[in-house]
Amino acid sequence: MSALAIDIGGTFTDIVLYDDATGRFAAHKELTTPSDPARGVVAGIAHLFAAENTDAAQVDRVVHATTLFTNALIERRGAVTGLLTTQGFRDTLEIGHERKYELYDLHLPLPQPLVRRALRQEALERLAPDGTVEIPLDAASVLAAADALVAQGVESLAICFLHAYANPAHEREAARLIAQRHPGLILSLSCDVSPQIREFDRSSTTVANAYVKPLAEKYLNRLSGDLAGIGIAAPLFMMLSNGGLTHVDEAKRVPVQLLESGPAAGALSAAFFGARSGKRDLLAFDLGGTTAKLALVHGGEPLVVHKFEAGRERRFTAGSGLPLNISTIELIEIGAGGGSIAAHDALGLLKVGPRSASSVPGPACYGRGGTEPTVTDGNLLLGYLDAETFAGGTMKLSTEAAETAVGGLAAQAGLDVPRTAAGIHAVVNETMAAAARVHVAEQGHDPRDFALLVTGGGGPLHGCELARRLGISQVICPPGAGVASALGLLLAPARVDRVATVTRRLDGLDWAALDAEYAELEAQARAVIGATLGAGAALSIRRAADLRFVGQGYELITELPAGPYGPGTEAGIREAFQAGYERVFSRRPAVAAIEIINIRVSVTGSTAEGTLDPEVPVAAEGQAATGARQARFGDSPFSAPVLDRRRLAAGSEVIGPAIIEEAMSTLLIPPGARAMVEAGGNIVIHLPETR
Amino acid sequence: MTIKFDPVTLELLWTRLVSIVDEAAAALLRTSFSVIVRESHDFACVLTDARGHSLVQATDGVPSFLCTVPRTIGHFLAEFPPETLREGDILITNDIWLGTGHLPDITVAKPIFLNGKLLAFAGSVAHAPDIGGRIRTAESREVYEEGLQIPIMKVVREGTIDDTFVRFLRKNTRVPDQVMGDLYAQFTALDLMERRLRALLGEHGLEDLVALADEIHGRSEAATRKAIRAVPDGIYHADVVTDGLEQPIRLKLALHKQGDSIMADYAGTDPQVPRGINVCLAYTLAYTAFAVKAALCPEVPNNEGAFRPITVSAPVGCILNSTPPFAGANRALTGHFIPPMILQALADAIPDKVIAGVGSPLWSLNFAGVRADGSPIANQFFMNGGYGAGAAHDGANVLSWPSNVSAAPVEMIEQGAPFRIRHRRLRVDTGGTGEHRGGTGQEWAFESRNPTPVAITFMAERTRQEAAAPGLAGGGAGTPGAVLIDGTVVDPKRQHILNPGSTVELRTPGGGGYGDPAQRDAALAAQDIEDGLVTETKL
């Protein structure tokens, strides 16, 4: 039997077919069809089936990731959405955090709420922080609000009452009343979508869910139908932002969990290939045309965080988007890629990005009308790229156009062209290194303890230099770095995360009650996994809690032991929190009470068929060395041998400088570095120690 | 030694310096204990050269601090010349006039040596959650009432912390663990800057920062001067009235723009007052430079060079150049008027680059009392007013400027404090009219659920009509703010007692509008009506 992975991106839809029996996988890139994404998927599958001489009957599993919902948020193409709040708080969504994300810009564009004020209504009701009812829900006010919103064309409604995390009764009752009166209205409740304290973030998350929910229902119904139409009877699983899978109905219920499904697959894939080289602590680095992405893999698992920002006003500026409480693979996006434009700023310094030539017109060397010098132009002039075989030979690069573009910049700086090209390369690497350093420090780690795993068209080209700047001594380049990401979809376990706010102190806690609350979350999560995988799945259940010292404003997520809990549990939890606190913050207050804000469970389940063990083809016949190129490293020119990766046998060693080419990417081995081709398919590069 | 840096090398070194202070700031944030640092980001990290001239500041820092930290380091050097400094020393002060203008801000700096030679200073300032004295209030007459004063001293000598100092500090604050925790977080940031800077110089084979500092300062100064040159020469005036105390307080500015430099002259400004709203000169300079930069060249990096073209003159003893022992705990209530005043003055010359008046300063409700079980309880909740409109945009409804301090969530406030918040909503009809509307303020209603009365004080300004956030280019002023207890307007500069079941309302000011209201786009005007932000009568 086979598994099918479908990853819809902005430009391409990647489809991977994996044969469970042989471990072989085949990949195909189909242009994305934005007006009707299912059409591209079906066309791509048909193409792959024909090429691989197989059919729908052989498929027993389909896993899907998509950027459609993220893009709907960015482009504001969601449903007409309304919001119902507690009386006195209809403006919470608009007032937000009251903070600017950039201090000196007087004319800063701020993210506008997804629901304008006219579509925000209030209901008469009030809960206390512990969930006690202070003002009972007034049915007439709920129905009047709903009627008014429906009259204004609202298709999807978010309900977010104060303290609903402590007691969902009012939200549920309001939903019941509204569903009776307006059965066609699609509802999202904050107690379901994000039952966590802090009303703005909870509202923002619930509203974003409501905004994409009609779209998700329509699209997923359509895709399920189309797959059935071509004879695929296997269930469709959806990739979540946290790197887990779920079934289609859960995806339709809370689609906001799917926003980052594509990058999550990439991080899973990095963890998988890193493990093949025995590395469990990795910095996964993907460099594409306009952005670079960095994700941390710690102890063999991608780091999962519980905050996300969607639809940023300024793509690379934190704080410029809508905050969402979703669990997602932790990653940063940096405005640096192959198309990033190099220019002198007002101070006469060489800057690279975040402005990008993108794919249209593209770098100057593409010869498609681009005239500004880009990172790719620099790489071509440095001898790193082959003008004839770039992107698998689909495109010829113009060295002349690159020289003209970079030459203009060189003249302004009073440098020669090679020195300027080297400067572009160095500056873009330093830009990425600077972002990586701060990011890794924020996670409480030291980058030198990690290996760098490189994917994407540009990752293998810039990886060694980025690693050197970070003090990282080992770089791993997986086989087929270009499709490595879609393969990650097939590696995912089914996963459900659940959270609830409890807010109480550890001393004097009713442990049996807390254990019951965990058990309730676990039961919810198990039900979803059961519906995804069937009854026989092996489950792994993890508990965690957001803890802090009493009086603090932010919490540290701490892993907790499994239940059941009793009075003896406290010491262990206290110890685990304090140890974690010391690891991250290096010291802790001498005497302080601890409180628990949120409890979290994460349930993962896998079946025997879920294990993936891709085969790497035996090295092709023939000489690996195909020639040599003049390439410049730093200030020195070298003659670097060019090698064909398909012909490098396991166990081969390559001493830098060298250039290793494969279909969609080029791996650069700098002078002094030593690369090993491993039996598992990875190339592992050891850099000279810089520690 | 003269080294000429090419644009590539300079960019690499400069980016590294910025990433060093950013990394230090991230470490400080993560290791701090107080909500005011962690939630409100009230701190900064700065790296200076051996003279105390700033090189780089962390990207996410409070603007006033960038200017004050290097000056404080200058005062450190005056008291402890280079030959008295040792590796591993850390200097400290919270002196109002040598620091940032109020006692909670603790400035520390660590000299960094390379091969026995003084190379640089790592500096940091953070707002302590408590420094003793009275609860934050404008009612103090002298600095002695406002808490513990730390003179310039070595808090760490060659790696060893001064225990006597620590004992004094702990004894003089209500929350010693938090204060010490934050101070150690600052030390952590200084250590990190020291390590990273030495490594960077080693990698590049540099022996000192002299040539690099010259390049950074020179280029930043040139870019700032170029931006200033684009403004027509002249003297630009602005007069501002604040609520003040019993009487309004008048601030007066003559902005002299000549060639490529700017001098802000505050002559004619009212004298300092016997209350905690006086501003020290360093704070005046900081917010003057902040506003000039925001208006003319927001993209130029922040360092000593960018400030050189901007100078300040303020008569000694006026409220913008206070002298000991005049108090300054709530200096922001006066000082936050400086940036809008600068923009107002520049409006004639560069109307497209500035914005109308903002519903600042930062507002807050402070309270202290005793819980049902007899334990003490105290806290401070921030909130902001409406933002000013510009030539191409409406003012945002509720935005923090110039301080950038957030409000706490209602659910968090109700979890920890004996209040029920009846509403927190936008204030209809409070944005100034104009082609571009000013941002609306907001209104909060806190009902006390404490079984016994609690003491409350406020940070609140622009409550008088004459202190309203002015409009620009024909736009109308924002509506002034107000503080009410059980429906009656009260004096927000005084302490009040809130009885059980009583409600205090804080209504923050709206921002000013921009341009002729008659020119407002009909669709936008209709949308404001539909959204209920503006009523028909106020169009």
d(CA B347, CA B236): 9
Put simply, the answer to whether A163 touches B532 (Cβ < 8 Å) is: no
Tens of pLDDT, residues B206-224? 999 999 999 999 999 999 9
User: What residues 255-294 of chain B have any CB closer than 8 A to a CB of chain A?
Assistant: 290, 293-294
**B2 pLDDT tier (thresholds 50, 70, 90):** low
Q: Provide the token pair at B122.
A: 């790592």
**A316 pLDDT tier (thresholds 50, 70, 90):** confident
Give the model's pLDDT for residue A342. Answer: 95
**Is residue A524 over pLDDT 60?**
yes
Tell me the CA end-to-end span of chain A in Å, nearest whole number: 49
Q: Which one of A87, A90, A103 would you mutate to disrupt binding with B, by most B Cβ within 10 Å of its Cβ?
A: A103
Residues A379, A288: one domain? yes
Query: What residues does each domain of chain B span?
Result: 7-208, 231-350, 355-539
Residues A320, A459: one domain? yes
**Interchain CB contact of B375 with A (< 8 Å):** no
**Is residue A392 over pLDDT 90?**
no
Tens of pLDDT, residues A185-212? 999 999 999 988 899 999 999 999 999 9
**Interchain CB contact of B14 with A (< 8 Å):** yes
**A590 pLDDT tier (thresholds 50, 70, 90):** low
Residues A567, A600: one domain? yes
Which range among A166-180, B46-60, B92-106, B310-324 shows the weakest confidence by mean pLDDT? B46-60
**Is residue A616 over pLDDT 70?**
no
DSSP string, A529-598: HHHHH-TT-EEEEEEEEEEEETT-SS-EEEEE--S---TTHHHHHHHHHHHHHHHHHS---SS--EEEEE
Question: Is the bond into A657 cis (omega within 30 degrees of 0)?
Answer: yes
Instruction: Find chain A residues with C-beta within 8 A of B355's C-beta.
Output: 106-107
Number of Cβ pairs < 8 A linking chain A and chain B: 201
Q: Is residue A616 part of a domain?
A: no
Q: What is the ipTM of this complex?
A: 0.91
Higher model confidence: residue B100 or residue A348?
B100
**A12 pLDDT tier (thresholds 50, 70, 90):** confident
Tens of pLDDT, residues B400-421? 999 888 888 999 889 888 999 9
Residues A165, A283: one domain? no
**B35 pLDDT tier (thresholds 50, 70, 90):** low
Residues A321, A416: one domain? yes
**Is residue B393 over pLDDT 50?**
yes
Put simply, the answer to whether B399 touches A100 (Cβ < 8 Å) is: yes
Q: Across residues B519-537, what is the average pLDDT? A: 93
**Interchain CB contact of A550 with B (< 8 Å):** no
Residue of A nearest to B531 (CA): A118
- Counting Cα atoms < 13 Å in the Cβ hemisphere of B439 gives 30
Tell me the pLDDT of chain B averaged across its residues.
Answer: 92
Tell me the pLDDT of chain A averaged across its residues.
Answer: 88
Tens of pLDDT, residues B46-84? 999 999 999 998 877 777 888 899 999 999 999 999 999
Q: Provide the token pair at B210.
A: 């002299």
Put simply, the answer to whether B424 touches A91 (Cβ < 8 Å) is: yes
d(CA A473, CA A691): 9
Residues A515, A392: one domain? no
Residues A412, A433: one domain? yes
**Interchain CB contact of A21 with B (< 8 Å):** no
Which range among A468-482, A513-527, B160-174, B369-383 shows the weakest confidence by mean pLDDT? B369-383
Put simply, the answer to whether B16 touches A163 (Cβ < 8 Å) is: no
Ranges of beta strands (E only) in B450-517 are 454-459, 482-485, 488-489, 496-498, 503-507
Higher model confidence: residue B265 or residue B493?
B265
Higher model confidence: residue A115 or residue B185?
A115
Residues A299, A416: one domain? yes
**Interchain CB contact of A554 with B (< 8 Å):** yes
**Is residue B378 over pLDDT 80?**
no
Q: Is residue A401 part of a domain?
A: yes
A99, A427, A554: residue with CB nearest B38: A554
**B141 pLDDT tier (thresholds 50, 70, 90):** very high
Q: Is residue A389 part of a domain?
A: yes
Whole-prediction pTM: 0.89
Put simply, the answer to whether A553 touches B392 (Cβ < 8 Å) is: no
Q: How many domains does chain A have?
A: 5
Q: Across residues A520-549, what is the average pLDDT? A: 85
**Is residue A691 over pLDDT 70?**
no
Q: Across chain B, which distance is largest between two alpha carbons, in Å?
A: 73
d(CA A661, CA A649): 14
Tens of pLDDT, residues B151-160? 999 999 999 9
Of B246, B241, B130, B145, nearest in space to B493 by CA: B246
Side chain identity at residue A91, one-letter code: D
Residues A402, A324: one domain? yes
**Is residue B145 over pLDDT 50?**
yes
Distances (CA, A) of A295 to A92, A436, A447, B298: 32, 9, 12, 31
Alpha carbon of A465: minimum distance to chain B alpha carbons (Å): 14
Give the model's pLDDT for residue B522. Answer: 95
CB-based burial, B328-365: b 16+ in 10 Å, e otherwise: bbbbbbbbbbbbbbbbbbbbebbeebbbbbbbbbbbbb
Answer with the one of A452, A468, A492 that is the final residue of a domain. Answer: A492
Answer with the one of A492, A517, A538 that is the final residue of a domain. Answer: A492
Percent of chain B with pLDDT strictly greater than 70 = 98
Put simply, the answer to whether A91 touches B404 (Cβ < 8 Å) is: no
Give the model's pLDDT for residue B1. Answer: 43
| Beta-bridge partners for A65 | A7
Give the domain extent around A394. Answer: 269-492
Instruction: Find chain A residues with C-beta within 8 A of B6's C-beta.
Output: 413-415, 423
Alpha carbon of B212: minimum distance to chain A alpha carbons (Å): 13
Q: Across residues A483-501, what is the average pLDDT? A: 80
Q: Provide the token pair at A213.
A: 């929910």
Residues A291, A151: one domain? no
**Interchain CB contact of A438 with B (< 8 Å):** yes
Q: Across residues B138-152, what is the average pLDDT? A: 94
Q: Which one of A90, A91, A581 would you mutate to disrupt binding with B, by most B Cβ within 10 Å of its Cβ?
A: A91
